Amino acid sequence: MRIAFMGTPDFAATALNALVQAGHQVAAVYTQPPRPANRGRLTPSAVQLRAEALGLNVRTPASLKGEAEQAAFAALDLDYAVVAAYGLLLPKAVLEAPRHGCLNIHASLLPRWRGAAPIQRAILAGDSETGVAIMQMERGLDTGPVRLEGRMPIGRETTGELTVALAEMGARLMLEVLADLPGHPPVPQPEQGVTYAHKIDKAESRIDWSLPARQIDRLVRAMQPSPGAWFDSGGSRVKLIAAEPAPGGGAPGTLIGDSVAATGGGGMAATGDGALRLLTVQPEGKPRMAAADWLRGRRLQPGEPL
């Protein structure tokens, strides 16, 4: 197949690698322009870095709405465009330019979690499984028919861990579809069960200790590695990198159990229902550390607020 690849983060770079290794002709790679990172320095996307390493033609338009960009895309004379977490809306002219349209690797079991943050939303909601849909794109938000689907259970993975697993699954499923298009006809999505995975707002990452432990645990895993779930302690922000539900109770947000200083243990925080064992934290301006070490430094006693 002669294709254009359109994607931006590491999730998409996995699929780009697979397409090149499978021998598909990648006429151009579209990715979002470099963004400020690393103390404001403009940084290329993971897809741009991988595409350049592979010697591919890279294009980084800020938008695809202009006639010149659309004409340049059409001039590629494509069989398909393969899209994975690109981050830009594809206008009608772009969707219709390839002979067989555009295929999207979407990290959810459509129609559940259409939209920008399907992996985080699945973890936050406590879903028992997730997966990947290879979708024939149309103008609606992730409304197109699905050619192939893969499923996997959700255990105690973080967003980062699930992203790696789903990226590998998506790359494999996309190759299956491209290898046998007639064998994977597009099937319309069900009308029932539609949910939307709205983009994560940083305000959502603050921990509310009055919530149940199991819900806070999901928040910690969903916000890892970015933006990171956090709470305020002594006037500074502390990210909670890893934790797990545990039996116990007390005033929400207080330390419970034996004194960490006396036992050398990890320490638990009371929540609105149950407790949360703190495993790894990152105090503001400091590297990650064992929660027990941080608690000993804070000299907190049982019953005191974190």
Task: Name the token pair of 248.
Answer: 């116990």
Hey, what CATH topology would domain 2-197 get? Rossmann fold (3.40.50)
The CATH number that domain 203-298 falls under is: 3.10.25.10
- With a cut of 50, which residues of the chain have pLDDT below it? 259-264
**How do the domains of the chain map onto residue ranges?**
2-197, 203-298
Are 2-197 and 203-298 the same fold in CATH? no
259 is in an annotated binding site: no
109 is in an annotated binding site: yes
Instruction: Give me the pLDDT at residue 301, please.
Output: 85
49 is in an annotated binding site: no
SS3 per-residue string spanning the chain: CEEEEEECCHHHHHHHHHHHHCCCEEEEEECCCCEEECCCEEECCHHHHHHHHCCCCEECCCCCCCHHHHHHHHCCCCCEEEEECCCCCCCHHHHHCCCCCEEEEECCCCCCCEECCHHHHHHHCCCCEEEEEEEECCCCCCCCCEEEEEEEECCCCCHHHHHHHHHHHHHHHHHHHHHCCCCCCCECCCCCCCCEECCCCHHHHECCCCCEHHHHHHHHHHCCCCCCCEEEECCEEEEEEEEEEECCCCCCCEEECCCHHHHCCCCEEECCECEEEEEEEEECCCCCEEHHHHHHHHCCCCCCEC
What pTM did the predictor assign?
0.94
300 is in an annotated binding site: no
- CA trace torsion 81, 86, 88, 89 (10° rounding): 50
Instruction: Give me the pLDDT at residue 258, please.
Output: 56
User: What is d(CA 269, CA 147) in angstroms, rounded to the nearest whole number?
Assistant: 46
Instruction: Give me the pLDDT at residue 261, please.
Output: 42
